[in-house]
Structure 1
Amino acid sequence: MTEPAWEPEFPDEITTAVPHNEEAEMAVLGAMLLQKSVIEPISSVLTGGAADFYKPSHQTIYMTICDLYAASRDPKIDPITVAAQLMSSGELGKVGGAAYLHMLVQSVPTAAHGDYYAEIVRENAKLRAVLTATRRATSRALTAASTAAEILDAAMADLQAAASGAPTGDVQLSVAERWMGFIDELEVGTDPNALDTPWPDLNQVVELKPGQLVTVGAATGGGKSLFGMNLAAHVALTRGKPVLVASMEMGGSELMARLTSAEASVPLDRLIRRKLDEADWAKVYKAAPAMQNAGNFILDDSANLTLGKIRARMRWMASRGTPAAMVVADYLQLMTPEGSKSNATRANEVAELSRGLKLLAMEFEIPVIALAQFNRNAVGRLPQVTDFKDSSAIEQDSNVIVLLHRPLAEDGSDTGERAGEIDLIVAKNRNGAAGRTVALTFQGHYARLRSMGRM
């Protein structure tokens, strides 16, 4: 239990001098076991994850707590539940038994200071990274493995990575290192890391690339939730990639009704009212195999969803071996801000959420689809990027912006020459043409959007 996780590069290293604070590590874990509200603030400080802990047993306990927290809408986190989880994985004895978990709780001066203890743990982890970088440079110099200039450059890169918390190692950054991989992508003809949408016309204009924040805006009832669920279902069910839908607007039952309606072509109102006829049941049974095998299609309707909870859910998916290929957040302005100041305006809070989703996309290297609401004054006219409710920062943070517009009659009814249609206006597109409009068929009764000519 006392074996250090950090291993020295030199045999004569005095391991007792390795930067670490066992009391702070115990206090962090004890605070998490005592009060689950501190788990998110602590995890946001420990950017290195479990590796920020010096002791392997503490790493195991931390990962177990995070997994339990992410696996349930209302997680029960205490020494008993964590001990049960560790026992089921065969690791309880390795961390010191249930008695050690209770000792962690007793070691906490106050759970409210959990993020402060976490900062101490994180600082020591960064110091260990600095030591590793300097000793690696020393080893290269002693063996004359490279020229002095090359050793210095490598050392500077390692030290910068240690200071920022970025991973060290063999990272390919130069043009020379990237070139052949780029040529391979050109020969294939597509970006292997990009995702497509279920609408071929939109695919001609927009490509969903890793690290992008794609914002889809609409007025109330304008079809943004349909867009998000249809896109998520395409990536998860058709392309077979793990997807997370974080819904702040609908519960799990309503999400399942909309998904089933779109996939089985059963009228949505019948599914919601649970009034199906024999023909409807036949369609539901036909769609059943795809639904029963959709274990990687995660619908999270947890109350008060925050960026921390979405990040925790993504880590939980990764721990299962199915890291999310895309995240859909429905919708941005309903998200709960973390650590908001008492004097913060709603515009500032939404700006923080928008920036947080962008950083989430970059951190996990996946596209994040943020659905967003328009202001009331956008109803009845062509929307603009300035119509987003509560904040103009959404426009700045987004790589791609798609505005949804339904060409309704003057009385608001879905009649006229373009009845049953919806326009997807690509208002911003950093990697392609902007200003394009793609018309789709709006099938609200089936909770889906379809390409023109497809029924």
Structure 2
Amino acid sequence: MQDLYNLSAEQSILGAILIDSKVILEGNQVNLSAQDFYANEHQIIYKAMNKIFAENTEVDLVTLQNELKNIGKMDQIGGMAYISSLVTAVPTSSNAIYYIKIVKELSMKRNVSTMMRYTEENLKALPQSELLKFVERLKTTILESGNVEDWYIEAAEIPMEIETPGTIQTGFDFIDLVTGGGLNYGTLTILTGEPSSGKSTIINQIIANAISAGHPAFLYSGELTYQMIMEWFVKTVANMEDIRRCKNTFGEYLKVTKEAHEMIAEWTREKFYIFSKDVGADEAHLSSVIEHLAVKKSTKLFVLDNLMTLECSGSDKYEKQINTVKMLKSLAKKYDLAIILVAHPNKSVTMSRESHVFEISGASEIPNLADYILKLERGEEKTVASILKNRITGIQKRSLNLRFDANRRRFYTKNKTELDKDYGYKVKAEQLSVY
């Protein structure tokens, strides 16, 4: 039974109640009881919270502490330090029903496990009639868990979608046109291409374009240091007048001025977040960071570079990859996000004359989960960006010819609008100087 509980979900429910007492009403809707909590201290705290709420009193740190002292349970639950820690266990109360349903389902499974264990131990002595009764009790336990109602919806209550949920424009007019105004919220995009095909470049331009439009962005890089990430990003964003030609013993090179670097860094403040290398890039850490940034920082664009460096649960590398992509797709839909996942192409099919969705390295189910698949192919004079899959508008197998400017670290099309684009970092610097 060691896996049939989730202490974090239990703590999040209790923390959400301390933020907003009305969360108790959400629990009542699915018959959440103290017995549904696995930890004894959580059962005690939830009972105390219900008693306070039933007396038409706000549940907060003071009233909860007072109630636990009155019933002599303060030390048993870990004291005031533990109660205070519950508030920091959850960023907002808005997702409380999600945690409640997790706890309810696990409680149901513990009950089922207990019933099955008892029946197994007494199986030899049980007549067939008792086995039939057991099956009915088992079915009733599952159906009364409160979560079954979430498995279906009333078709008549589905509203007609009048407006699109929103998009993150890539900054490339052709791509935005064929994808439906940009990468739609609630979608997962797979970006693939051989090494040095320009994936990092186009990612930097998409992130810069999002920030310029006022959309915060997040980047996970499994290969680059913080300094490398920012150096490449700054070169992409910088205007030509802020780039200087320098010399060293190896020859000439281009460098962004210190003043421009500082302006661009300030321009990204509270708009650009990078995954910390102090924690593992696993399922728990990634999902927590994405949820936190989506809820607390209104972040809409998430870029993960690349699939092979992410570590999620699973028995082998393919199951881990599938679980990773499923997790990202679920978060994109839940929070209306645009998520881009970089995945390398399969080496065994890179010589194929025609690109197709199943050339992505890894589990074959990955392309099926993607809403968009974008591939970059580098040639001698140009790079070709191809739309291999487009679940939103259906327009696919269309290509865009891109040129690369080494000075600006940018891709651009024939009319050079991408090359001439000013992302607006100086405007912010000027606004700050006024104050």
Q: Same fold (TM over 0.5)?
A: yes
Contact 2:193 2:375 in 1 (8 A): yes
Gaps of 5+ in 1: 29-51, 58-89, 105-117, 128-158, 186-190, 408-413
* 1:353 match: 324
Q: Return the alpha-carbon distance in structure 2 between the equivalents of residues 394 and 99 of structure 1.
A: 45
Partners of 1:259 and 1:334 lie apart in 2 by: 21
Equivalent residue number for residue 100 of structure 1: 79
> 2:402 is matched with which residue: 416, 423, 440?
440
Aligned pairs for 1:199-348 (under 5 A) are 199-207=172-180, 208-235=183-210, 237-264=211-238, 280-282=255-257, 284-286=258-260, 288-294=262-268, 295-302=270-277, 303-318=279-294, 321-338=296-313, 340-341=314-315, 344=316, 346-348=317-319
Letter in 1 for 2:209: H
Secondary structure of 2:159's aligned partner? helix
Match of 1:24 among 39, 46, 54: 39
TM norm structure 1: 0.58
Indicate yes or no: 2:97 matched with 1:122.
no
Kept in 2, the 8 Å contact 1:201–1:451? The answer is: no
SS in 1 for 2:178: coil
Unaligned runs of 5+ in 2: 1-13, 51-59, 66-73, 84-98, 109-142, 420-435
Instruction: Determine helix, strand or coil for the equivalent of 1:327.
Output: strand
The superposition leaves residues 352-403 of structure 1 with CA deviations (integer Å, 9 ceiling, x where unpaired) of 2222221221122212111111122455665432221122112111111111
| Structure 2 counterparts to residues 331-410 of structure 1, below 5 A | 331-338=306-313, 340-341=314-315, 344=316, 346-379=317-350, 383-407=355-379
Give per-residue Cα distances to partners, 1:4-24, cap 9 Å, x unaligned. Answer: 956469xxx9xx994445661
Take 2:39 and 2:102, find their aligned partners in 1: how far apart are those partners? 6
The residue number in structure 2 matching 1:427 is 388
TM-score of the two chains, using structure 2 as the length reference: 0.60
Q: Which amino acid aligns with 1:430?
A: R
How many pairs are equivalent?
Answer: 320
Over 3 Å counting, the alpha-carbon distance change for 1:309 and 1:446 in structure 2 is farther
CA distance in 1 between counterparts of 2:47 and 2:149 reads: 15
Instruction: Tell me what 1:178 maps to.
Output: 159
CA contact (8 A) 1:54 1:125 kept: no
SS at match of 2:388: strand
- The amino acid that maps onto 1:435 is K
Q: What residue in structure 2 maps to residue 133 of structure 1?
A: none
SS at match of 1:369: strand
Aligned to 1:156: none
Question: 1:254, 1:262 → 2: CA distance?
Answer: 12
How far does residue 259 in structure 1 lie from its aligned partner after superposition?
0.8
Cα separation, partners in 2 of 1:327 and 1:56, compared to 1, 3 Å: farther
1:215/1:7 Cα in 2 relative to 1: closer, same or farther (>3 Å)? closer
In the TM superposition, 1:50-61 aligns within 5 A as: none
Kindly state the Cα deviation for residue 423 of structure 1 after the two structures are TM-superposed.
0.8
Over residues 328-354 of structure 1, what are the superposed CA-to-partner deviations in whole Å (9 max), with x where a residue is unaligned?
11111221122x22xx3x223222222
Give the % identical residues.
15
Contact 1:326–1:366 at 8 Å: present in 2 too? yes
> In angstroms, what is the RMSD of aligned CA positions?
4.7
Q: Compared with structure 1, are the counterparts of its residues 249 and 448 closer, same or farther at alpha carbon in structure 2 (3 Å cutoff)?
A: farther
Larger radius of gyration: 2
CA–CA distance in 2 between the matches of 1:217 and 1:368?
A: 14
- Please state how far the C-alpha of 1:287 moved relative to its aligned partner: 5.7
> Cα distance, 1:202 vs. partner?
1.2
* 3-state SS in 1 of match to 2:220: strand
Aligned CA distance change for structure 1 residues 439 and 26 (closer, same or farther; 3 Å): farther
Q: CA deviation at 1:281?
A: 5.0
The change in CA–CA distance for 1:228 and 1:103 in structure 2 (over 3 A counts) is closer
